[in-house]
A and B are shown apart, each in its own frame.
Chain A
Amino acid sequence: MDIKTLMTDILPFLAVGAVATVKITILAVLLGFVIGLFFGLMRLSRNKLLSSIARLYISLIRGTPLLVQIFFVYFGLPKATGLNIDAFVAATSTLGVNAGAYIAEIVRAGIQSIEKGQMEAARSLGMTHFQAMRYVIWPQAFKRIVPPLGNQFIITLKDSSLLSVITVEELVRKGQIKISTTFAAFEIWALVGIMYWIMVLVISQWVNWTEERLKAGDH
């Protein structure tokens, strides 16, 4: 395969897939963050029922392969319920729910890493539990969870490649489709790899920048 075809034919074709990958990943991470925050706090709750629900969710998601979850939601659920789930919706929600379980643990670990004395001090100043959480614990915990969150962002981006198995035309699927007609396996997989790498570099730069900015507030 010559460079010209690679640049004028293959690259634009793959770029469409890369855009889909970015779109799905951002949506899934946002969804995952909301779910993760919610379940992370539930997991810490003194209410036994709430924390058990959160525990079960985290255990189920972390205890099964993402690939199985994807197949289950897209091919399995409609078979059982008769509901018709669009591939994009199934993809984004499964990836988001998956990321949510890991983010819940990140949130929990972040909050638990703040010394007990902080809460006690805040409470003895007359703050309610919620106020202490909101104004004292969370701002400190958030700084600590930014690096692992960034890590999860990168993992989710790469995990989105698994969505290729349910007809979602993200980057890997686009690569497979192009290879199925051009057979240029070496060139295309190399290009796909480089494109993921660039995306990951952008995310890690952004996370570093955020970390630096948060640190600036310390002084």
Chain B
Amino acid sequence: MKKFLRVGIVSLLVLALIALAGCGGGTEEANSDNAQDKKVLKVGTDVAFPPFEFEEDGKYVGFDIDLINAIAEEIGYEVDLEPMQFQGLIPALQANNVDVGIAGITITEERKKQVLFSDPYIDAGQIIAVRADETEIKSVDDLEGKVLGAKIGTTGAKKAEELKQSGKVKEVMLYDNNPESYIDLENGNVDAVIVDKPVVERYIATEGKGKIKTVGDVLTGEKFGIAVPQGKEELLQQINEALQTLKENGTYDNIYNKWFGTGE
């Protein structure tokens, strides 16, 4: 009996410690806005979305990463990067697991109901990409009876679903990230993928040279925004102001040129 009691007490202690550690972490995050010396901004981002964010030599780099670092510096925070699957970003923001999300997130009405968005920081849009030797598909109108790939939870996936509903594509296949959809396109399991234009153009200019190509025009005009959990209006205000400053002092242009070549 005594033994059982001891085991019970020890287990309880361990549980309590874990709970305490968990709470400790939680309060630290919650207070990060007020803490004086070391203010940490937990940034949720995608794992594989070049050139906005991707892994290179063991570090996450990209347009979004540089931009959020510049913004954080502007408002006096230190960035703590949390790469995750894109589809998990908004849930993570809602659970307050991260303070901001930056991952080429298109500002949509649906998402606005879930999180707050900063002012747009870049223009983008969805485009169709096919295998380089494809001759049949010249635009989105040639997709009838074809299989279209998209990344789960994106505006591209939404567009693909609409095309399927209206009978303009046969089937939609959803991937966790864009590189997987390119591989599957090259392997021949999908006939086309719908993807953000700057993202796929970067792929075609680098590893995807001669493997895939884009066809037709941009399907949806879109703007990317930085997402913040609801209720954090103050942080959002700071981010918007910092974004404005960076645009005015030329930092934004420098970052833009670094990732997208010739500045527009």
Contact = CB atoms under 8 A, between A and B. Distances in A.
A173 B90 CA distance: 17
Nearest to B92: A185
A85 B189 CA distance: 7
Contacts, number: 48
Nearest to B187: A78
B157 interface: yes
Interface string A153-183: 0000000000001010100010011011101
Interface residues of A, number: 18
A86 interface: yes
A169 to B, nearest CB: 8
Given A86-B189, A167-B175, A180 B153 contact: yes
Contacts of B173: 87, 167
Interface stretch (B42-50, B126-134, B176-184, B242-250): B176-184
Contacts of B94: 183, 185
B87 A84 contact: no
A177 B13 CA distance: 40
B188 interface: yes
Interface string B38-74: 0000000000000000000000000000000000000
Nearest to A78: B187
A167 B91 contact: no
A143 to B, nearest CB: 36
B158 interface: yes
B96 interface: no
Contacts of A167: 149, 173-175, 184
B114 interface: yes
Interface in B172-206: 173-176, 180, 183-184, 186-189
In terms of DSSP, what is the predominant structure of the interface of chain A? Answer: helix
B91 A173 contact: no
A165 B176 contact: yes
B174 A179 contact: no
B189 A179 contact: no
A87 B157 contact: no
A177 B160 CA distance: 13
B219 to A, nearest CB: 18
B110 interface: yes
A138 interface: no
Given A87-B173, A167-B174, A176-B152, A183 B180 contact: no
A180 B187 contact: no
B174 A177 contact: yes
Interface in A111-146: none
Contact of A180 (B95, B157, B180): B157
Given A78-B188, A84-B189, A176-B87, A181 B180 contact: no
A211 to B, nearest CB: 32
Contacts of A183: 90-91, 94, 114
Contacts of A185: 91, 94-95
A179 B184 contact: no
Contacts of B149: 167
Query: Which 8 residue pairs spanning A and B have beta carbons closest together?
Result: A180-B153, A78-B187, A84-B188, A185-B91, A167-B173, A180-B87, A183-B114, A75-B183
Interface of A: 75, 78-79, 84-87, 165, 167, 169, 173, 176-177, 179-181, 183, 185
